[in-house]
Amino acid sequence: MAARFLKLCKLFLFIQKSNIKTAFLNKSDALINVIMMTINNLSFVFMWWVIFENKGSVNGWHFEEMALLFAVMNNAFATFALFARGIQLLPEYIDNGNLDNFLTTPQSSLFLISTSESTFANWGDYITGFLMYFLSGYVSWKSFWLMVLCSFLAFVLLYSFRLIMSCLAFLISDSQRLGDNIFMAMITFASQPASIFTGWYKVLFLTIIPAGFISLYPVSIIKDFNWPNFIILIGGVSAFWIISLLFYRWGLKHYSSGNRFGVR
């Protein structure tokens, strides 16, 4: 088990090294894309800053809480886009039969699919994420590492939710757009102040579209760590991770091999 894990780590580093080399074939384009991504993110942040400057608070949330949310959300999405975006292409691989190429390798098919795509511009999300953390006012060594941990858990949730959406392709043909739209809806929900969701909306916010595990609990934990909220966050993320893996394995059992063959 340990040897297999080390092999996957070496393969992961090799793939990321190749992705960076590819991105820097044109250094100016790569840097411009990162800068433009950062500017785009900050324009969205500015919009919320204007709202809070005029409203003061939204159901108890101030701009400081939104800054923490942006920190977690941007760091989580950056990790997803840079290191696991290939999972979004799973429906395409299923529809055109290219999934066979991944299934015929000795390595984990899910790992290879996940790392098959990367978007270098999303390094700009990391820049935005760490900048917003320092602008939140909740700056300390403890809160910093809590932010990093919560960002990683948010990434796992994003990945799990997108994997579930991608696995719809095992049931529905040409489901790429459907999965993308539902995934973007989840990101939109997660980018709103968690305080606006109450009652049944809060139940939806934590189950069907689990955006609350990206905004509600991480922000609360970073501000004032407490074990009950942390256990709920770990439990919710773990549940979606397990469900996504079970869904993927179930899908593979019902997958009909395509008519294309190749070796990666």
pLDDT for 73 equals 96
- Reported as a single tens digit per residue, the pLDDT across 44-74 is 999 999 999 898 888 889 999 999 999 999 9
pLDDT for 28 equals 86
pLDDT for 20 equals 82
Count of CB atoms situated within 10 Å of the CB of 247: 18
Distance CA 32, CA 49 (A): 25
Considering the entire predicted model, what is its pTM? 0.92
> Which of 3-17, 83-97, 153-167 is modeled with the greatest confidence?
153-167
pLDDT for 201 equals 72
Distance CA 114, CA 227 (A): 32
User: What's the whole-number average pLDDT of the chain?
Assistant: 89
Q: 55: burial class by Cβ within 10 Å (0-12, 13-18, 19+)?
A: exposed
> Is the model's pLDDT at 36 over the cut of 90?
yes
Distance CA 164, CA 157 (A): 11
| Domain regions of the chain by residue span | 26-253
Q: At what angle do helices 227-253 and 216-223 cross, to 10 degrees?
A: 150
Query: Which is more confident, 46 or 25?
Result: 46
Task: Please give the structure tokens belonging to residue 205.
Answer: 């916010």
